[in-house]
Each structure stands twice: as structure tokens, then as C-alpha cells.
Amino acid sequence: MHLYGTQAISEDGHLTIGQVDTLELAKEYGTPLFVYDTALIRKRARDFIDTFKKLGVKAEVAYASKAFACVAVYQLAAEENLSLDVVSGGELFTALKAGFPAERIHFHGNNKSIAELELAFDSKIGCIVVDNFYEIQLLKEISERRQQRMRILLRVTPGVEAHTHDFITTGQADSKFGFDLNNGQADEAFQQTFNHEYLELLGLHCHIGSQIFDTAGFGLAGEKLIDKISDWHKAHDFTCTVLNLGGGFGIRYTEEDAPLEPQVYVEDMITVVKNKAIVLGLTMPEIWIEPGRSLVGDAGTSLYTIGSQKTVPDVRKYVAVDGGMSDNIRPALYEAKYEAVIASKANAPKSETYTVAGKLCESGDKLIIDAKLQEAASGDVLAIFCTGAYGYSMASNYNRVPRPAVVFAENGKHQLAIKRESYEDIVQNDLPLTLKKGE
């Protein structure tokens, strides 16, 4: 069985996280429950940051917090000297509530509202990643009215798309994000922002995909961006101070996945950018990256309690748990695959094959199809690995199911990071009917 971070199996065969027994966590906080190995998050952050330092390259490592956002994880990110990537007013508000340094916050999004942009200006955040011409006009109007400067990056689509082991160089023009690098849009965006009185253009940003297991796509994208920067330098004497190559670094969900270590992604990225800059006679820009899943994905484990079981003769065996697509929609949405273990029997052989079903009223609510597990019994705690990214952040109240609690565990201690929702929480914004029949 593959264990992640500080996960271990105790002498009595129980799965532990951060030196804390998962059965104790399930008993104290209830299930479903997200448990985060904060020591693993810290290690991953340091692996990225320290690699830049070792190679003497100025950089910012920004946590792409759409993967999982809450006050406590933002505070942890601040402790580890990460910057922060937010994609909504809600994420920005949460970061500010957490006391995250505003100057290290970068604001993304393809349709930022005026209210969100005003909040960004009010908060004096570090950078806005500009996505389209409409946003350029809004930023000009807001900055000129307020007579307030704002640092910006232009998000571009470089015509490179990478997923897992493959990357392609066509087809990304049709994206809701960014200015196309190849059809003149990026050049027009540059013209509209370069030398503006209040908008300080730092450079370019791109994001080429997710769950990427090699570095070729990042290298190709970096070269394309440096070529464009060279064109602008020659024509307009523009100096690019920041090149943001985004995120998408892969993690291991199952034995089929073979991700690289954080250091490898960073080292290869730097080599490509540095060599290209030297060839073109450019100053080496500061490199920004945006790991999200690779910081928190395999640091998160979901705990469930097994309830009913069902055997369909000659077809499959089902075990049902007390959560499902309301706290992890990825299997239903993306056919995402996971591995699991019965937490009290982690040393026992995986002698059975079950399909793990959720409790939601949907036939497609299956968390794992044909999971190899120990023999299951009602009341057992099931641990599903690598649910730390896009589990809680995409959770819903479908079927009016309360969202789970979130716990952090480290060095034998644990703390509640997000309280479990109650039924009262679910109805708190509901209003009674006031329209009378027939009136």
C-alpha cells in the first residue's frame, strides 16, 4: 500500500496521519471528514521555494488556492512564505480575513466584477493577472479614478496544452482564458497596457494544463513567452520583470500516476528560461509558479463510515459510505480515480473488490469503482487518499447534505480547521413563503 507524507500504520494496524490515529479523528470529529497532513504541505512548499533559492533565481511560489481555501490553510501558506493565487472575491476576502500579506496576493479570473476589482485596489494586493480586453478597460477606469497604481500580468494562451504525459501545440486558441499569443491579441493587450500611467506591466502569465507529469510542455511554453517578450523589448524597449509559468504539476492518485518531484519541475523550467534569455540578450526575469494540487492534493485524506452493503450476484459488491459526490464530485465529473484502505485494517490483505458508493440520490454517485479493499463491515472507517485538492473546495449541499468538517494533523496534534455544517446552517438563508395563493 502506498502511503503519503506522514501516513503510517500503527502496531494495531490503524492508519495514522501526522502521528494521529484516524479512528480517533473519526470518533472525535465524525465522518465524513477531511484530514490534512500539514507537515506534507509544508514540505512541498519548501521543496519549491528552496529549489529557486539554491539556483539563485528570484521567484514567487504562489499557492493556487482554488484547490482548497480556508482561513487556516491561508495562514499556513503565509507561515511557509508562499504567495497566494486567488480567483474570486470570496477567496480574496478569506485571505484578508486570515491576515495573509496583501502584497503577496495575485488575483486571477476571466470575469472579475467591478466590486472584486475595487476590493483588490482597496486591499492593495500585489498583482492582478489580466485576462481580457474588457478587464483592461475596467482597470484603466478604476486606477485612473482612484489615481492608484496596480501591478499586472497579461495572461496569454501560448498554443501549448499539456495533460499528464502528453502535450500538444495546437488547439488552445479556443479557451475562455487569456490573450492568444499567435493571433495578435497579446500584442494588442500589450499596446493597451504598456506605459499606462497607473498600470505597471510586469510581464506574462500562462497556464498549460493540469496533472502534468513531465517538463516538456512548460519548456515549450516558456520559450514561446520569452520570444514574445523579446519582440516587445526590441520594438518598445520593454523589460519583462516577471514570467509566470502557472501550475499543473501532477500528483500520484493511483499506481498509474508517475509525477516528478517539485525540484525537477523547477530546475527544468529555470534552465529553459535562462538559456533562452541568454540567447536573446534579455535580463533573466523573476519566475513565478502556481502549485495548487501539488501542495495539498495528496496531503488530504477523506474518512467515511461504511453503512449499507449490497451484492449483485456475478456483477459487483457495493459498500455505501456517509458521504459521496457532495464532498468529492471529481469521480462523477471527471471519472477521477482513487485508492483507499479500511483504516482499522490497514495491515490486512486487500482480499475483496468493492464499488464504493456515496449516499446521494444519483446512480452516478460512486467514489471508487472496483476498489481493492480489506473485508468491509458496517461501521468500518474507510480512508480515501489524495482528496486534498478540489474535494472540499467543490463540495456542495446537494440533497441538503451538510459539508464535512476539515481537520489538520501534525506531530501528534490535531485541530479543527473548518466546522461541520449543521442542518441549521443549510437553512439559514432560506426565507418563508410570503406570496399568497390566488393573490
User: Distance (Å, rounded) from C-alpha 351 to C-alpha 353?
Assistant: 7
User: Distance (Å, rounded) from C-alpha 426 to C-alpha 428?
Assistant: 6
Q: Exposure string (b/e) for 118-144, b if CB count within 10 Å is 16 or more?
A: ebbbebebbbbbbbbeebbebbbebbe
Residue type for position 435: L
User: Distance (Å, rounded) from C-alpha 338 to C-alpha 391?
Assistant: 12
CB atoms within 10 A of CB 53: 11
User: Distance (Å, rounded) from C-alpha 248 to C-alpha 268?
Assistant: 15
Residue 341 to residues 9, 251, 257, 381, 430: CA-CA distances in angstroms? 11, 19, 18, 9, 39
The residues that are catalytic are 361
User: Distance (Å, rounded) from C-alpha 73 to C-alpha 182?
Assistant: 38
User: Distance (Å, rounded) from C-alpha 104 to C-alpha 101?
Assistant: 6
User: Distance (Å, rounded) from C-alpha 202 to C-alpha 175?
Assistant: 23
- Residue 73, SS3? helix
User: Distance (Å, rounded) from C-alpha 307 to C-alpha 359?
Assistant: 9
User: Distance (Å, rounded) from C-alpha 291 to C-alpha 413?
Assistant: 26
User: Distance (Å, rounded) from C-alpha 21 to C-alpha 344?
Assistant: 9
- Element housing 323 (H / E): none
325 neighbors 334 (Cβ within 8 angstroms): no
- Element housing 189 (H / E): helix 185-193
